[in-house]
Structure 1
Amino acid sequence: MTGSGLILIDKPDGMTSHDVVARVRKAAGTRKVGHAGTLDPMATGLLIVGVNSSTRLLTYIVGADKEYLATIRLGAGSTTDDAEGDLLAPVSQHALDAVADDAIAAGIATLTGEIQQIPSAVSAIKVDGKRAYARVRAGEQVELAPRAVTVSEFELLATRRIDGAIDLDVRVVCSSGTYIRSLARDLGTSLAVGGHLTALRRTRVGVFSVRDAHDLATLDAEAALIPAVDAATDLFERLDLTEQQAIDLTHGRRIHVADREGPGGEPVAAVAPNGALVGLIEFRGKEARTLVNFPTDEAVGRA
């Protein structure tokens, strides 16, 4: 039985995030496995999986900023805003030839910063209790409301002009909830030639990088596991507790930390003297209360 912690997976093309979770359940020997942020089947890259009690950390990871490498194809839109959908009518080669590099750069600049984005109609957003993509597959027309997202970096890495299309390799750093295929769609629309996503790879989620991720086909869950205490202290400020403070927090009591300075608000990883993660706590002045408790009998982190 694998302990509690996070496993970083480099998701292969063609698998759903649910497929990955099922594989990790088998490898880890536990049903209690979840992930932090869905990747579409066509997408590859970093999927963060929580095992056992560390599924409690996933809530705090889902909202982290993310980095992607992607390829946007200009020349036609698609019904799903990516290569998995049916292509819409392509524009002429003459229209593509008229798209100047400066216009592409200006379009990218317009989609950088705090923007209002309409998610793809085939997203997992719920509309009246039902996933948008399920409504689309059932033949319904779905119109989603714009939402505020932040695209902090939208970098053009390469431009390839080919017959019938312009391919753009880009790097995007964005807030949680940003749809890269919607950026592809909106860039194509702004240039009046249509656009859709043909490749997507997630390279970072918060502090975690795909460089440290594991191949699913050869996964050794025990060796790949980032223990809960290490994961939590990677994510949050660490507070080393006294024995009594650890006991108090475990029993739901607040603790007082006399030398605590600075504002609260952000979770803090509370660590027992034996190195185990007691939980995530929240400060109000010098007083702290438990946000999430962790089992006291779990294995400690790396020495």
Structure 2
Amino acid sequence: MVSPGILLVDKPTGPTSHDVVARTRRAFGTRKVGHAGTLDPMATGLLVLGIEGATRLLTYIVGADKTYEATIRLGQTTSTDDADGEILTTADASAWEAVGDEAIAAGIRELTGEISQVPSAVSAIKVDGRRAYDRVRAGEEVVLAAREVVVSRFDMLEKRQSDGHLDLDVVVDCSSGTYIRSLARDLGAALGVGGHLTALRRTRVGPFEVADAVGIDDLEGAETLTPAEAAARILPVLPMSAEEARDLRHGKRLAGQAVRLEGAIAAAVDPEGGLIGIVERRGSDLKSTMNMPEAAR
């Protein structure tokens, strides 16, 4: 029997996130594998996967803040805002050579904090039920609506000339739904020379770090976090008695127990340390909003 758990995988460049899911299914011998947010084929880094009953926890992970390391190339725009697209414009060398540190810093400041961002037309956002990138591939013109995102850190680590281009190595902390290639595009536009993304690596999803992840060739026998361990990283933990655990698993409310809940939700744990599920406040009561299968603790 496959044990439920949360698996951290360090995706290499090339395969899609769905390729990684497929390999994980084969490695663990189960079809029940899900993810908490994809990465483009070009990108590398952290994928958070749920196995068996632990897939129910992915809902509480997918919206977590993330950290990326990226390289932005100034002086060129592409059809996809990254290196996989067709080059659309190329600035004169004199133009990007004239871009100084102060101008770059000012451009980065404008893209830090709460910002309104237009996602790339080849993103996975659905438009009338179809992915935007599918519509673009079909020859349709797609213009997506701007969305509010939060970029809490946008730091330039290094500026270097590479093969006749000006490349910026950056690190970004941001809310879920932020597109780093859109930051690259918008920074290049603000500087008047154009820009696109040439490298992207996700190093963190909420409390999960890529340093703790396994490689794609090491999935066989890879260790996973138990549902209780993973839940304790993302939510406050509420210990329950055996009787309370039984009641929650049977769908009953815990009368008058909402005072035990500090935030909106918490992970309810039984006396053996197993995850019962996620509880929330219903008036003065506690009620389970998501129950784990009892064997998947």
One-letter identity of the residue aligned with 1:224? E
**1:114-263 pair list within 5 angstroms:** 114-162=114-162, 164-221=164-221, 223-256=222-255, 260-261=259-260, 263=262
- Give the corresponding residue for 2:279: 281
State the SS of the aligned residue for 2:88. coil
Decide which moves more: 78-87 or 93-102. Answer: 93-102
The 1:171–1:252 alpha-carbon spacing in structure 2 relative to 1, beyond 3 Å, is same
CA contact (8 A) 2:257 2:286 kept: no
The 1:163–1:273 alpha-carbon spacing in structure 2 relative to 1, beyond 3 Å, is closer
- Give the corresponding residue for 1:86: 86
**1:6-155 pair list within 5 angstroms:** 6-155=6-155
CA drift of 1:218 comes to 1.7
State the SS of the aligned residue for 2:89. coil
CA drift of 1:107 comes to 0.3
TM-score, scaled relative to structure 1: 0.95
One-letter identity of the residue aligned with 1:225? T
CA contact (8 A) 2:77 2:194 kept: yes
Distance 1:235 1:277 in 2: 13
Alignment deviations for residues 135-193 of structure 1 (CA, whole Å, 9 cap, x no partner): 11011110011000000000100000245321000000000000000000000000110
Q: Among the aligned pairs, what percent are the same residue? A: 58
Distance 1:13 1:92 in 2: 30
* Runs of at least 5 residues in structure 2 that lack an aligned partner in the other structure: none
* Runs of at least 5 residues in structure 1 that lack an aligned partner in the other structure: none
Distance 1:44 1:173 in 2: 16
CA contact (8 A) 1:264 1:284 kept: no
State the SS of the aligned residue for 1:141. coil
CA contact (8 A) 1:32 1:52 kept: yes
Alignment deviations for residues 253-302 of structure 1 (CA, whole Å, 9 cap, x no partner): 0114659456441x21111112221111113465210111011123x5xx
Alignment deviations for residues 78-104 of structure 1 (CA, whole Å, 9 cap, x no partner): 000000001112110111122111101
One-letter identity of the residue aligned with 1:105? A
One-letter identity of the residue aligned with 1:251? H
Distance 1:295 1:22 in 2: 23
- Runs of 4 or more, structure 1, over 6 Å off, are none
CA drift of 1:42 comes to 0.4
State the SS of the aligned residue for 1:23. helix
Distance 1:164 1:137 in 2: 31
CA contact (8 A) 1:46 1:202 kept: yes
CA drift of 1:207 comes to 0.4
One-letter identity of the residue aligned with 2:290? V
TM-score, scaled relative to structure 2: 0.96
State the SS of the aligned residue for 2:119. coil
Distance 2:285 2:131 in 1: 41
What RMSD, in angstroms, separates the aligned Cα atoms of the two structures? 1.4
One-letter identity of the residue aligned with 1:142? V
Distance 1:185 1:9 in 2: 28
The 1:139–1:256 alpha-carbon spacing in structure 2 relative to 1, beyond 3 Å, is same
State the SS of the aligned residue for 1:99. coil
CA contact (8 A) 1:96 1:164 kept: no
Distance 1:208 1:246 in 2: 27
CA contact (8 A) 2:258 2:286 kept: no
The 1:290–1:258 alpha-carbon spacing in structure 2 relative to 1, beyond 3 Å, is closer
